[in-house]
């Protein structure tokens, strides 16, 4: 159980989330994939606690024209696209507008891939326990796209983990993932940020720094995992 109904920041949220993910430390070759940018600080703490490999999974929200904060869908690598029911058509959105937004977000997805990975090959996912982490889930479009990207990789187990989520959305994801871990599912959910005391933007530099830390010491992380197994 959590000892809080809100989080200080993403680091605190990640540590709290890791407490309810301890049962996954014994899974075969687990890997934690953070959704940039805000999901990466949370995922970093989870990976550290589980002694698991950390990487990123790039997806991009498709913002509604004229109201970018509202997701009309999301795209992911490998041509995955998820659209909300009624799109195109919802609030007058046309297919042409959907394609325009998708092209723009695809360009940003490719930019981030070059920036974060720097030519580093994507991780092997087949046969592994994959834990997808974001800092919170509202409409779920981005996470649903991420789930469908990962499903293509023939993983052994797919877990969605987030500190807070809208109840209806969490219910939807439970039908898509093998397991969903979400400590807070408040009925009065309006936005992810309302459950954080500090919820500033995560920038590219922070994502790069956390990935560099994780990638610099993979042997140490797996050593910590082996030690945990011996103490169990």
DSSP 6: S
Range list of β-strands (E), 30-137 = 31-34, 53-56, 59-64, 67-76, 80-83, 129-133
The values of phi and psi at residue 35, to 5°, are -90, 110
- Distance between CA atoms of 181 and 162, rounded to whole angstroms? 6
- The domain that holds 191 is classified in CATH as 3.40.50.2020
pLDDT in tens, 6-41: 899 999 999 999 999 999 987 779 999 999 999 999
Q: Which pLDDT does position 3 carry in this prediction? A: 42
* pTM recorded for the entire structure: 0.87
228 inside domain: no
DSSP 155: -
Domain encompassing residue 67: 10-210
145 inside domain: yes
Q: Which pLDDT does position 34 carry in this prediction? A: 98
222 inside domain: no
Q: Which pLDDT does position 47 carry in this prediction? A: 97
Q: In what order do the strands lie in the sheet with 157-161?
A: 53-56, 31-34, 129-133, 157-161, 179-181
29 inside domain: yes
100 inside domain: yes
Q: How many domains does the chain have?
A: 1
Q: How confident is the model at residue 78 (pLDDT cuts 50, 70, 90)?
A: confident
215 inside domain: no
Q: Which pLDDT does position 67 carry in this prediction? A: 84
- Contact between 122 and 143 under an 8 Å Cβ cutoff? The reply is no
218 inside domain: no
Q: How confident is the model at residue 1 (pLDDT cuts 50, 70, 90)?
A: very low
Q: Which pLDDT does position 220 carry in this prediction? A: 43
pLDDT in tens, 118-160: 888 999 999 999 999 999 999 999 999 999 999 999 999 999 9
3 inside domain: no
Q: How confident is the model at residue 5 (pLDDT cuts 50, 70, 90)?
A: confident
- Distance between CA atoms of 12 and 207, rounded to whole angstroms? 16
What lies within 8 Å, CB to CB, of 199 at 6+ separation is 9, 10, 192, 193
């Amino acid at each position: 159980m959590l000892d809080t109904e809100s989080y200080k920041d993403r680091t605190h949220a990640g540590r709290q989330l890791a407490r309810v993910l301890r049962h996954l430390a014994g899974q075969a070759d687990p890997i934690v994939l953070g959704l940039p940018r805000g999901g990466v600080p949370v995922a970093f703490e989870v990976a550290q606690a589980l002694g698991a490999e950390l990487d990123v999974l790039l997806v991009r929200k498709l913002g509604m024209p004229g109201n970018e904060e509202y997701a009309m869908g999301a795209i992911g690598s490998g041509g995955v696209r998820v659209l909300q029911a009624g799109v195109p058509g919802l609030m007058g959105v046309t297919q042409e507008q959907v394609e325009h937004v998708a092209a723009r977000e695809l360009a940003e997805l490719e930019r981030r891939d070059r920036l974060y990975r720097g030519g580093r090959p994507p991780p092997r996912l087949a046969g592994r326990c994959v834990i997808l982490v974001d800092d919170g889930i509202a409409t779920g479009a981005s996470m649903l796209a991420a789930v469908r990207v990962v499903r293509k990789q023939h993983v052994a187990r797919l877990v969605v983990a987030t500190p807070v989520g809208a109840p209806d959305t969490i219910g939807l994801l439970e039908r898509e993932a093998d397991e969903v871990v979400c400590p807070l599912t408040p009925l009065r959910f309006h936005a992810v940020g309302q459950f954080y005391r500090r919820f500033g933007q995560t920038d590219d530099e922070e994502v790069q720094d956390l990935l560099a830390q994780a990638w610099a010491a993979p042997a140490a992380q797996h050593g910590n995992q082996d030690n945990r197994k011996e103490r169990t």
